[in-house]
Structure 1
Amino acid sequence: MNPDDRRSPGSGVAGPAESVTIIPLPESHVRRWDDELIVYDQRCGETHLLQGVVAMLFEWLREGPCTADALAERLSAEQVDGVGDTYTFVRQVLNELQRLQLLEVSPVEDQQASQS
């Protein structure tokens, strides 16, 4: 992730009433090596390298939709070094994943209605 591509915290994706998840990707298009993920996006032919905590967040998002706040709380519980403020870090990662078009955002209300 290039720090120059990051938007300011609180801007961009995933407000408090929004849920985020990773776009549907075939299992064969996501590969793990140690703490790195290689993600192939067949829609555009691009391959992305996700490392460390970014790879971990990506995998958590593949588990299913959640809010940015829930991701930040989960990351805080992991006590990961080097991320600084977890809420800011999570929003920066989500903004980057959205810029790469790997993220889907939907209102939380829609998520709850579809699960009923």
Structure 2
Amino acid sequence: MFGEFGRNMPGKLYRQWPRDARGEIVPPKFLTHCSSRDVEDEMLVAFLKSYGIPAVVLHPGDGSFGKVVLGLSGTGSSIYVPETMYDMAKELMEATPDDDLQSGI
């Protein structure tokens, strides 16, 4: 699925995606699957981006067609992040909104 990963990425995302020690694109790792109906996928990508984590959104099945025609994917969206940033992305997703308040920050 990601054999040619990087070649089809938009320029800005391609430049932001981390590289390994050889300068190769770090492989993506599946983070989660979201519904597209309530823009959950777009909010998650924006949230990750605010922490410096680039994300790729794929629409499985015929979802890409629905995204073009209807503006949303009926099959939802699969979110992928660089495997080197997966743990941080997962931790951010699992944090509750008031974690900072409880810790006194």
- The TM-score, its normalising length taken from structure 1, stands at 0.30
Please state which structure has a larger fraction of its residues in strand: 1
- The TM-score, its normalising length taken from structure 2, stands at 0.31
Tell which has more relative contact order, 1 or 2 (C-alpha 8 A, sep 6+): 1
Q: Which has the larger radius of gyration?
A: 2
